[in-house]
Structures are given as C-alpha cells and as structure tokens.
Amino acid sequence: MKGALLVAGTHSDAGKSVLTAGICRWLARQGVRVAPFKGQNMALNSVVTASGAEVGRAQAMQAAAAGVELEAAMNPILIKPSGERHSQVIVMGEPYADVDARSYRSLKDELRPIVAAALADLRSRYDVVICEGAGSPAEINLRDSDLTNMWLAREADLPTLIVADIDRGGVFASLFGTLALLDHADQAQVAGFVINKFRGDQSILAPGLEQLERLSGRPTLGVLPFVEDLWLEAEDSLALDAGAPESAPPPGADTLDVAVVRLRYISNFTDADALRGEPGVRVRFTRSAADIERADLVIIPGTKATVEDLERLRQTGLDHALAARAERGGPILGICGGYQMLGERIDDEVESRRGSVAGLGLLPVATSFTAQKLRRLRVGSSPWLGSEAGGYEIRHGQPKLGLETNLQPLLVAADGEPDGVVNGAVLGTSWHGVLEHDGFRRALLQWVAARAGRRFIPGTESFSEVRARRLDALGELIERHVNTAALTDLIEHGSDRSSPAITIETRQLAALADHR
C-alpha cells in the first residue's frame, strides 16, 4: 500500500485525532509502515522527541499508534497560546516567533513551504501518511491563510474524509454544510464522511446516510459507535470534561481521590492520565476549593502562562485553599509551571513580561524565565521514594532552591543533576511525564495513602500496556466499523474527481434572508 489521506472535521473535538490514530493503528497491525502528520497544531499539550524537538501530544499518541518514533516532521508547526492574545510559534520543534493572531497570518507564506516539505519528507520514507486537519475546513474567514486543511489537501493532492460527532446533534447539517461552504476545487478533494459517537440502532440512521449521499454525491465510509470507556491522551482542554473510566479498588483497598487544579492555560494535563490507570484512583479536574480541601492528593499542573494562572488562583481564592492544605500536611504536587507557582518568587521578562511576582510561598524556590527554552528527555530516580523515574522537560522557567535550604530533591537525573524539592507534604518537579513511570507513580501513591490513612494496592498492568490496549481498541474500531476496502482504495488511488460540486446560489441565500 502506498499513499496518503487527510482527516478533516466539522469542528474541534469532532474525532479527527481519534480517527487518525485509529487508521494508523489499523494499518500498522497489517504491517503497513505508516506515519501521522498534522501541518499546524494549536495546543498547550506537547511532548519532546528523542532529538529534543517539541511537538503536539496528539501526534505523539498517533506515532505510538503507528508504532514509529515521534519526530518533528509529524507536526512541523505548533502554536502554544501564552495569554489572551499572544502565542508562541514552534517550527520543526524549535521556538520560532511570538505572535498575535494578526501577525501570525503574515507568517503563513514562509511557513507553507515548511509544511509541504515536512509532509513530502514523510511520504518519501513511509508507505502511508495519515494527515489530520485542524478545527474545520469550512472556517471560510481563514481559508486564505490555511496551512493544514484544504490548502494542504490541494497542495499534496490528498483525498479527504470529513468526520462529525453525532453526539452533539445536527450531524447531517454539519457534514453537508461543511462541504457546501468549500469552493469547488476544495470540494473535489472530499471523498466521503465518517460519523463518530453514534448510539443506538444504526438502521434508524441509514435513511439519513442514503439521503446525504444523494445530496452530496459522497458516501459515508463508517459510523463509529459511542464507546463508554474509550479514553485516550488528549491535546485539547475541551476533552477534560469527557472524563475517563475509573476502576474500583481491589478487595481490601481504599479509593484515592486526586484533584488536578484546572488552570486557564493548563498544559500537559495528560501528566495525570497514568493515575487513572491505577485501580481505585479517582482523578478530577477542578477549580473548587472544597475539592482541594478534601482530596488525598492535589496536583498543580503545567501552564503556558504561569504568572497569569497564578493571578487567577489568587483571584478565585484557591491560593488560600492551597496554603491551608499545606499547613494541614495535605500532599500537593506541582509539575513544571505548577512547581514554579509554589515557589517564593517568579522573575519573568519572557513569557508574561511582568517582572518579579510573588509565588505561593510553599516551596523555597525562585524561578527565573530565560529566552531559551529547555527541551530534553530525562531518566533517573527518586531517592526520596526509593524508585526509578523518567520524564521530559519543556520550559523557559529555571527554578532554583534557596542557598540555605537542606531539603532533598524529589528527583535526580542519571547525570547527577537534581530536580524539584520535597518540603514536608509539598512536592515540586520540572519533569513532565514522571507519573507515567510505574515505579515512581506507585511509590508516590503509597506515600499519599499512608498520609491519608488509606490502603492502596497498586495495579499489576504497566502504563505502557494500558496505552497499547487503548490504541488496539482504536484500530479495532476502524476494522469493525469502517469500510476498510473503500478506505484502502481511497489511500491508494485518491478522490473520485467525478463527485458533484455543491453550489449555493446567491439568490437562494438572499431569498432565505428575506424570508427571515
């Protein structure tokens, strides 16, 4: 098999990432060498490749589904919002520019060749490349600056599927309307539709699918069912409300309650995913002071706007809830930006440009922001917990312990460099992904349970096994619920250019407006 495909969606969180990962997994299980690709990604959830490049988390999940090593070419442009109007642009894994919405549009001409070259490079090295769009291709106000939807489809001649989430309602209008709003050359790339999260009897849906095909001239290649416990690492904070499956504690064990503070610019929130894989561990994202008070463990996660999120904590009174918790000896873990907030001071002329700002004062740490972003994988241990550990760093902030402190570090890298600190029940680290390490995660939870007077019995399945099982479930969804023969033909031979174009006459729109 040789070819490529673009998965577009009617809106954000329609199922593009899931469908892309599922197709990658299905192909990989058949022995096809496949790679994921997303030309431009806007996300605060990112990871570091083995070479030190920064890319979106969704592409890391999709690369794992494909069984290949993650690389910068799989996500050449990553946009990370750093405030209400500003974003950092990452190009081929490296910081490139700080922009607002208008100035970013002026960069598009210089970014397009980079996107095209990255895709061409992947296609030269892999049998199949499954591309994911962003948002909706029908955002007609942005079409002239598009990098990852129909511009890419036409530039690389990619057959395109449009996926829609039926659980939100209006699925036929969403699919037909998305197609109709595209110009005729863009419509020519669209080969069919996929419906996501269907519940109930599919025979009831069938008449609508038949009429959609008559109206559009394009088939629906699959209807993916709503799967209650289908849960994957997400890149968009919209997915936080979806929750995740939880398993009951083993006989004789207690439930541990973990509260993750839901920051406005929360990043790398998937740091908590591995906790959910442990039986009897309940994880919730919250802005509630009551949740912070009663949880067995509180996590302050990473953020792309450390100072702004710190201000919001103070505005909502959560700073007092955290201080009261620390005074009672309740465990708190700060990760990256959360760790920086727990310190005494933040000096930032890079991200927020606010200068010196007081931290929460729960750790004897001062953080200085530097223009150069540190990006690296880390391997080491936690002497404090007596476990091995690993993770990765993505940060401008450089936390430093006070000179007179004799507190022990939370982690020590294999090269001997210490990281983080343990101050009673308040912990901090700059390592993302450390909770994915089975030994560290379980040792930490046992410490939390002991402080809470609860009994914790660790699971027996590694997080890597949990992740592989989830990805296999995605591949099976494609195999069982998508017309894989038609999908294969589409990848190998492209779109059927004879599909009719949908024309919306101006006079029809005028008549509709008059009627209203």
Average pLDDT score over residue span 53-57: 94
Residues 6+ apart with CB under 8 A from 22: 65, 474, 475, 477, 478
pTM comes to 0.88
pLDDT of residue 491: 97
What one-letter code names the amino acid at 410?
A: L
Q: Looking at the annotation, which residues are catalytic?
A: 336, 432
Determine how many CB atoms are found less than 10 A away from the CB of residue 315. Answer: 9
Residue 28 neighbours by CB under 8 Å, 6+ apart: 34, 65, 66, 67, 475
DSSP string covering 351-373, please?
Answer: SS--EEEE---SSSEEEEEEEEE
**Range with lowest mean pLDDT among 1-5, 107-111, 151-155, 412-416:** 107-111
The total of other beta-carbon atoms located within 10 Å of residue 292's CB is 21
Percent of the chain's residues with pLDDT above 70: 93
Other Cβ atoms less than 10 A from the Cβ of 18: the count is 27
Which of 10-19, 77-86, 122-131, 353-362 shows the lowest per-residue confidence on average (mean pLDDT)?
Answer: 77-86
What pLDDT is recorded for position 381?
98
Residue 396: pLDDT band by 50, 70, 90 thresholds? very high
Q: What is the four-CA torsion angle of 219, 225, 231, 232, rounded to 10 degrees? A: -10
- Non-local CB neighbours of 412 within 8 Å, separated by 6+ positions: 380, 381, 382, 383, 418, 419
Parallel/antiparallel/unpaired status of strands 94-100 and 86-91: antiparallel
Q: What is the pLDDT of residues 231-259, one digit of tens each?
A: 666 555 545 555 555 678 888 889 999 99
Indicate whether 516 pLDDT > 50: no
pLDDT (0 to 100) of residue 514: 53
- Mean pLDDT (the chain) is 91
Q: Rounded to an integer, what distance in angstroms lies between the CA atom of residue 397 and that of residue 175? A: 44
At residue 509, the pLDDT reads 45
Helix/strand/coil for 119: helix
Domains of the chain: 3-231+468-515 (3.40.50.300), 251-458 (3.40.50.880)
Q: Which helix (H) or strand (E) holds 65?
A: helix 57-66
**pLDDT tens per residue, range 105-119:** 889 899 999 999 999
Does 19 score more than 90 pLDDT? yes
State yes or no: pLDDT of 512 exceeds 70.
no
Structure tokens, 361: 């004062």
Which phi and psi angles does 178 have, rounded to 5°?
Answer: -60, -45
The answer, yes or no, to whether residue 510 has pLDDT greater than 50, is: no
Q: How far apart are CA 265 and CA 135, in angstroms?
A: 19
Cβ atoms of 467 and 435 within 8 Å: the answer is no
Segment 281-313, tens digit of pLDDT: 999 999 999 999 999 999 999 998 999 999 999
pLDDT tens digit string along 134-163?
A: 999 999 998 998 999 999 999 999 999 999
> What is the band of 495 on the pLDDT scale with cuts at 50, 70, 90?
confident
